[in-house]
């Protein structure tokens, strides 16, 4: 098991290189450069050349990449061209907000999704099942930014229960977390339902009934445990995605975070910021998948034996 974890961790290194190359090339392929936003009106062509040289943007791409990479692996993420402060500080400042929102919305996704899924599978083809699945379907299909605005309208403006925006207390976290979490909740609810329905007719369930266990005990303790694998897959995917997925929501609720930082950096082609935050977000996706793999082993003893 430990060998497996070690192997997976080592595998992160080549993945990191591939990601960094892709991220680096993509951002430089986009037309425009940060110098445009730095030049004050009335600057000359010479100013432009000078600035480009000052930021090392006159060198060829491979050289720029090597310089960036060399600094990156030693922990120096460079200096923001626009904000004039170390990228590291910017990320360290914004990261807690994003992680807080991510974790909160994962909770919403998981608990809301799993409960809806269990309830609707237990009450298959009843009114309760239909209602739960309609909620799940809405969760998947309604765009997050729209849902965010509607929730804000109902709970903040009309009812006044939660603040419209901000990032201080737990109260401010509630609406954004629900907004981001709903999509995942919908997916997880549907997967949980289908995966559990497959289990109800398994032979081992008959023996559980024959042992005299109650239906609710069988559903929670046995059927849900057995139906967990596909749920973990989806959960793992959301785990990484949710940090990136919060981008629009951070803007809707005007919260600080990696998302809003990345977006403003993209507008102004602030290369070092974009590169660092994109690498951070993609690594989050991969680590999410990694965590899901470890959760498989936790959930299913057969998988555990394969890793041995």
> Least distance (Å) from another protein to the CB of residue 229?
10
Structure letter (DSSP) for residue 218: I
Residue 115 in the binding site for another protein (CB under 8 A): no
> Least distance (Å) from another protein to the CB of residue 226?
6
**Sites for another protein among residues 21-80 (CB under 8 A):** none
Distances (CA, A) of 218 to 203, 206, 301: 13, 10, 19
Does residue 142 sit in helix, strand or coil?
Answer: coil
Binding pattern to another protein, positions 226-255, x when CB under 8 A? x-----------------------------
Residue 84 in the binding site for another protein (CB under 8 A): no
Residue 305 in the binding site for another protein (CB under 8 A): yes
**Sites for another protein among residues 192-231 (CB under 8 A):** 201-204, 206-215, 222, 225-226
Is 146 or 204 the residue whose CB approaches another protein more closely? 204
Given a contact cutoff of 8 angstroms between Cβ atoms, the answer to whether 272 and 88 are in contact is no
Is 171 or 225 the residue whose CB approaches another protein more closely? 225
Given a contact cutoff of 8 angstroms between Cβ atoms, the answer to whether 117 and 197 are in contact is no
Residue 302 in the binding site for another protein (CB under 8 A): yes
Distances (CA, A) of 176 to 51, 109, 149, 228, 265: 40, 12, 10, 27, 22
Residue 300 in the binding site for another protein (CB under 8 A): yes
Binding pattern to another protein, positions 157-196, x when CB under 8 A? ----------------------------------------
Alpha-carbon radius of gyration of the chain: 24
Cβ neighbours of residue 182 closer than 8 Å, sequence gap 6 or more: 108, 109, 112, 138, 139, 142, 144, 147
Residue 124 in the binding site for another protein (CB under 8 A): no
Residue holding tokens 């595998």?
11
DSSP count for the chain of H helices, then E strands: 17, 0
| Integer Cα distance of 133 and 136 in angstroms | 5
Binding pattern to another protein, positions 259-288, x when CB under 8 A? ------------------------------
Residue 123 in the binding site for another protein (CB under 8 A): no
Under the rule (CB under 8 A), what is the footprint of another protein?
201-204, 206-215, 222, 225-226, 299-302, 305
């Amino acid at each position: 098991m430990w060998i497996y974890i070690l192997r997976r961790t080592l595998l992160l290194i080549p993945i990191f290189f591939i990601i960094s190359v892709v991220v680096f090339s993509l951002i430089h392929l986009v037309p425009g450069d940060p110098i445009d936003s730095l030049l004050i009106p009335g600057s000359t062509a010479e100013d432009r050349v000078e600035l480009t040289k000052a930021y090392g943007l006159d060198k060829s791409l491979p050289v720029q990449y090597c310089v960036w990479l060399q600094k990156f692996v030693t922990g120096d993420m460079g200096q923001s061209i626009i904000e004039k402060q170390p990228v590291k500080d910017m990320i360290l400042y914004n990261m807690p907000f994003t992680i807080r929102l991510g974790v909160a919305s994962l909770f919403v996704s998981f608990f809301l999704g799993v409960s809806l899924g269990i309830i609707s599978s237990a009450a298959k083809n009843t009114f309760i099942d239909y209602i739960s699945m309609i909620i799940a379907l809405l969760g998947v299909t309604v765009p997050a930014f729209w849902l965010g605005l509607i929730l804000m309208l109902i709970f903040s403006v009309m009812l006044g229960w939660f603040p419209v925006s901000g990032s201080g207390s737990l109260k401010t976290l509630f609406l954004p977390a629900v907004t981001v979490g709903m999509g995942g909740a919908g997916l997880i609810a549907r997967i949980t339902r289908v995966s559990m329905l497959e289990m109800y007719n398994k032979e081992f369930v008959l023996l559980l009934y024959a042992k005299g266990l109650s239906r609710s005990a069988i559903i929670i303790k046995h059927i849900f445990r057995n139906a967990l694998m596909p749920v973990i897959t989806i959960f793992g995917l959301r785990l990484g995605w949710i940090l990136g997925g919060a981008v629009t929501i951070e803007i809707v609720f005007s919260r600080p975070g990696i998302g809003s930082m990345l977006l403003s950096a993209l507008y102004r082609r602030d290369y070092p910021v974009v590169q660092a935050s994109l690498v951070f977000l993609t690594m989050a996706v991969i680590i999410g998948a990694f965590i899901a793999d470890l959760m498989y082993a936790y959930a299913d003893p057969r998988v555990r034996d394969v890793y041995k």
